[in-house]
Amino acid sequence: MNEPRTCRDPVSRRAKEIPSFIAMDVLETAQAMERGGEHIVHLEVGEPDFDTPDAVRRAAIEALSRGETHYTHSLGLYELRAAIAAHYRARYGVDMDPTRVVVTSGSSPGFFLVFAALLDPGDEVVLTDPHYACYPTFVDFCGGAPVFLSVREEEAFQFVPDELARALGPRTKAVLVNSPSNPTGTLLSGARMAEVARVAEASGAYVVSDEIYHGLVYEGREHSILEFTDRAFVVNGFSKLYAMTGWRLGYLIVPPEFVRPVQKIQQNFFISANAFVQRAGIAALAETAEDVARMVATYGQRRCYMIDRLERMGFSFRCHPTGAFYVFVNARHLSTDSYRLAFDILEKARVGCTPGVDFGAGGEGYLRFTYANSLENIKEGLDRLERYLDVLGRRGA
């Protein structure tokens, strides 16, 4: 009788080597503590604490009542694609055909579609360091090579055009920008974004622009990459501005020559976004201006409160965050091991925050706090943090 073959490790190398998303590790550790009876103040995960606006929920219920529970066109409902094109025309003065819009089941699948359509093995994508934690994973998974360019707090953690130009090489396929940014909450000015677009075009690279936090701006104005170049991909969605994280609805705007390649990948991997959720997206764009204005005003109040409290606790800023709903604060006077510091704060202060190292080597020594929570909870969380610092005895000067 033949002996059974010794199998290789059954888990793929890709699955074994993919990094965890530390923000989620913090959240899930906090949830385990809550199941044990602890009360945790959650300042770690960027999820709006508001309910989805009524008009959006009504539109979904009405679509369900009409039986809109079947596949749609793989690129999305034309009505939603047209509404997105109209939104970009009204907000940014960008005139484009709705056929360039691809509706996705959230912005994360959108990144997969973009990089799967754009990258061959070894093609490079230049990212800021620090950056959103999952960007390198998307690039790696699609066979590309992330290239990290260190950025500085005094430059709002954004690309400096001359430094970016030196980082681009013969294998550079794309430059990724994120404004307003996660984790830093900072914006690229229009002039700086135009320069980034110029540098990328000169090297033959595309720009991939993560615009998921557009609309969540408290000082200045956000810009779409499409104001400055057509050699660009926009990744956006409804999760953040419209408090629709659980609805899983996003979209891409792609160059015309990429529509069919992206469509084929969508057909094979995702088929289409949910039909009734797409109807809800149309309502979000058309009927929620007052709801959005109210949420943005509330975020703005929380932002000012959090920055003021953190500064009075001894944390310093070279650049205040002006968008999204994050504060990325230098905590090196407390520790240069942000992972250990964040979990120590969770254990001893019962406050969740995200270690800066989650966002790349350039984030080490920082902590990210979100103000996507009620002012009452933010106050309680910062009171606890202040007591933690008093016990630690290591406040900044």
pLDDT at 357 over 80: yes
Summarize pLDDT for 245-265 with one digit per residue, the tens: 999 999 999 999 999 999 999
Summarize pLDDT for 67-77 with one digit per residue, the tens: 999 999 999 99
Summarize pLDDT for 377-392 with one digit per residue, the tens: 999 999 999 999 999 8
Summarize pLDDT for 300-328 with one digit per residue, the tens: 999 999 999 999 999 989 999 999 999 99
9 or 154, greater pLDDT = 154
pLDDT at 397 over 50: no
pLDDT of 210: 98
pLDDT of 4: 52
Whether the Cβ atoms of residue 145 and residue 124 lie closer than 8 Å to each other:
yes
* Rounded Cα–Cα distance for residues 12 and 258 (Å): 30
pLDDT of 395: 54
Summarize pLDDT for 111-170 with one digit per residue, the tens: 999 999 999 999 999 999 999 999 999 999 999 999 999 999 999 999 999 999 999 999
DSSP state at residue 257: G
pLDDT at 207 over 60: yes
The pair of three-digit structure tokens given for residue 126, joined into one six-digit string: 């230049």
Summarize pLDDT for 223-233 with one digit per residue, the tens: 999 999 999 99
| CA-closest candidate to residue 164, choices 185, 182, 150, 180 | 150
Summarize pLDDT for 181-205 with one digit per residue, the tens: 999 999 999 999 999 999 999 999 9
Residue 71 Cα distances to 13, 57, 78, 80, angstroms? 34, 20, 13, 15
What global pTM score does this model have?
0.93
pLDDT at 369 over 80: yes
Of 5-19, 34-48, 50-64, 195-209, which range is least confident? Answer: 5-19
> What is the side-by-side strand order in the sheet with 326-330?
326-330, 366-370, 354-355
**C-beta atoms surrounding 278 within 10 Å:** 26
Summarize pLDDT for 15-30 with one digit per residue, the tens: 888 888 999 999 999 9
HEC letters along 85-130: HHHHHHHHCCCCCHHHEEEECCHHHHHHHHHHHHCCCCCEEEEEEC
Planar angle of CA 213, 301, 244, nearest 5 degrees? 35
The label of the residue with tokens 């809550």 reads 34
Summarize pLDDT for 80-122 with one digit per residue, the tens: 999 999 999 999 999 999 999 999 999 999 999 999 999 999 9
**Range 208-232 burial, b when 16+ CB lie within 10 A, else e:** bbbbbbbbbbbeeebbbbbebbeeb
> What is the side-by-side strand order in the sheet with 232-237?
101-104, 250-253, 232-237, 206-210, 172-178, 124-129, 145-150
**Range 112-129 burial, b when 16+ CB lie within 10 A, else e:** bbbbbbbbeeebbbbbbb
The CATH T-level fold of domain 13-51+290-391 is Aspartate Aminotransferase, domain 1 (3.90.1150)
pLDDT at 5 over 70: no
* Rounded Cα–Cα distance for residues 315 and 303 (Å): 15
pLDDT of 15: 87
State whether CATH 3.40.640.10 applies to domain 54-287. Answer: yes
pLDDT of 388: 96
Domain ranges of the chain: 13-51+290-391, 54-287
Q: What is the mean predicted confidence (pLDDT) over 225-246? A: 98
| CA-closest candidate to residue 325, choices 157, 180, 223, 129 | 180
pLDDT at 41 over 60: yes
Whether the Cβ atoms of residue 180 and residue 324 lie closer than 8 Å to each other:
yes
Residue 291 Cα distances to 45, 49, 165, 286, 333, angstroms? 22, 13, 41, 11, 40
Summarize pLDDT for 272-303 with one digit per residue, the tens: 999 999 999 999 999 999 999 999 999 999 99
| CA-closest candidate to residue 367, choices 380, 377, 353, 379 | 353
